[in-house]
Structure 1
Amino acid sequence: MSGTPRSMFEPGAGPAADPAGNRHERRIRSFQPRRSRVTTAQREALLRHWPHWGVEVDGDSVLDLPTLFSGRPVVLEIGFGMGEATAEMAAADPDTGILAVDVHTPGQGNLLRLAEQRGLTNIRVANGDAIILLREMLPASSLAGLRVFFPDPWPKKRHHKRRIIQREFVDLALTRLAPGALLHCATDWEPYADWMLEVLTATPALHNLSPTGTFTPRPATRPLTRFESQGLHKGHRVRDLLFRYEP
């Protein structure tokens, strides 16, 4: 069997298995591709909507965000799971575009299905590596916000280098944020929350919106997800971090 991943879709009909291929350097990844079954409804949503609502993160060209989102300000969401919270945020704020990036095909299909059901036109789904998307495909100062909700905490110490919230990532992200943009992170892994707080607080251009200089209560703009509710029932503490970019 070949080591090259194969897409379950014809070219152009759905998300590619590895859109960037070998055209960009390999490095330590902050995510693990998850292989799980795509339902019929998710597959059909991908087939219907990927050609006009999907974005392949191939690193080959810079996105024209004003055209892609009809002039709306754009927030980048990195990692959206099954997309329920993303769809809720898009419905609550139709004047903001959400560029949601993930590598999980069932989640991509489910988010497109939800967008179709709710008549949402302000969501675009990106398939691939968020670092390549930020570095190669987004213009400078083009984002009104960045959301990273419940990223993989990589709890073992030897894996901490895989966490997405690192100084190098933040430095890259800031080059794509417009002045006044909001950076919003959330995690239910307390050691990772402390890690995030340390990294973000050490960045001079970021202003912590918490009056205590630490964490904030969950804002109404971030819906309570099913995953989060399950964690709260188990006694997990969820931490939100809200920082404004003030260069």
Structure 2
Amino acid sequence: MDNTETTSGRPPQTDFNTVFNNDLDYPRLGNVTFRRGTLTENQEALFTENWPVLGKDLSDEIIDIDSWFGRSGHKTIVEIGSGTGTSTAAMAPLEADTNVIAVELYKPGLAKLMGQVVRNDLDNIRMVRGDGVEVLVRMFEPESLDGLRVFFPDPWPKARHNKRRIIQSGTLNLFASRLKKGGVLHVATDHADYAEWINELIHVEPTLEYKGWPWESCPQLTNRQVITKFEGKGLDKDHVITEYLWEKK
């Protein structure tokens, strides 16, 4: 993996096929960029004060999970694309014994989640700012996670953009590689075409066993508890929510 950094201080996008020596499909992301957004004065102050403890930026530093959370022997779940963190913060008190790491590019989204973390004293949430696929490959050891969540990823509905979707054969392989045996991958979408896309990939990764939905004996919390902003928009348009669960073999 090339560790040289761009002029913006971020590592270049990984050549996944070379790194993993395969010909699988990975999201075509172009340059890894941070989505811009404006924080309020209070959000900026809160972010500046708490980010050094609660947050990390995309880098080539492998995260020491036990050290970061200040505890050992606890399950760890990574949520890719946590948005404004509505469901992240709502689920956290119900899984207090689980370390939750929210990964998101959008700084205002992370700032909103941080506000909930600080106000509600949610000590089991940490945050990483960066592209989720890059964060997984650069910052987490293989077989280090108990769960991965991808809730309502960008559907990239235009056919020419389908290759930008995060759910691809290569990313499913990457997800599986970061999960421990028995670890759980949970995906949800409210976009019918994306659901059809995922349906074609359900069995593509041989180390992931598809468990369907619901999976009553799932070893981790699967009830998202609240209607997220994007899910709410989907329901307003009478979209069907489709959920998927896999277990690492």
Q: TM-score, normalised by structure 2?
A: 0.82
- Asked if 1:117 is matched to 2:119, the reply is yes
Correspondence for 1:189:
191
CA displacement, residues 163-206 of structure 1 (integer Å, 9 cap, x when unaligned): 11101111111111001111000111111112112213222222
Correspondence for 2:200:
198
- Per mean C-alpha deviation after superposition, the further-off stretch among 26-35 and 230-239 is 26-35
Separation in 2, partners of 1:23, 1:240: 29
Taking a change above 3 Å as real, the CA distance of residues 33 and 155 of structure 1, as seen in their structure-2 partners, is farther
Correspondence for 2:19:
none
| Structure 2 gap segments, 5+ residues each | 1-5, 17-26, 216-220
Separation in 2, partners of 1:90, 1:212: 20
Correspondence for 2:46:
45
Correspondence for 1:243:
246
Taking a change above 3 Å as real, the CA distance of residues 238 and 144 of structure 1, as seen in their structure-2 partners, is same
Identical counterparts, % of pairs: 35
Q: Which amino acid aligns with 2:185?
A: L
Q: Which amino acid aligns with 2:241?
A: V
CA contact (8 A) 1:115 1:121 kept: yes
Give SS of 1:199's match: coil
CA contact (8 A) 2:87 2:224 kept: no
- Per mean C-alpha deviation after superposition, the further-off stretch among 19-28 and 165-174 is 19-28
Q: Which amino acid aligns with 2:63?
A: L
Over aligned residue pairs, what C-alpha RMSD do you find?
2.6
Give SS of 2:84's match: coil
Question: How big is the shift at 1:90?
Answer: 1.1
| Structure 1 gap segments, 5+ residues each | 7-17
Give SS of 1:135's match: helix
Separation in 1, partners of 2:148, 2:81: 11
- Asked if 1:229 is matched to 2:232, the reply is yes
Question: How big is the shift at 1:25?
Answer: 5.6
Correspondence for 2:24:
none
Correspondence for 2:62:
62
Separation in 1, partners of 2:83, 2:110: 8
Q: TM-score, normalised by structure 1?
A: 0.83
Q: How does 1:69-84 map to 2 (within 5 A)?
A: 69=69, 70-71=71-72, 72-84=74-86
Separation in 2, partners of 1:226, 1:89: 15
Correspondence for 1:177:
179
Question: How big is the shift at 1:32?
Answer: 7.1
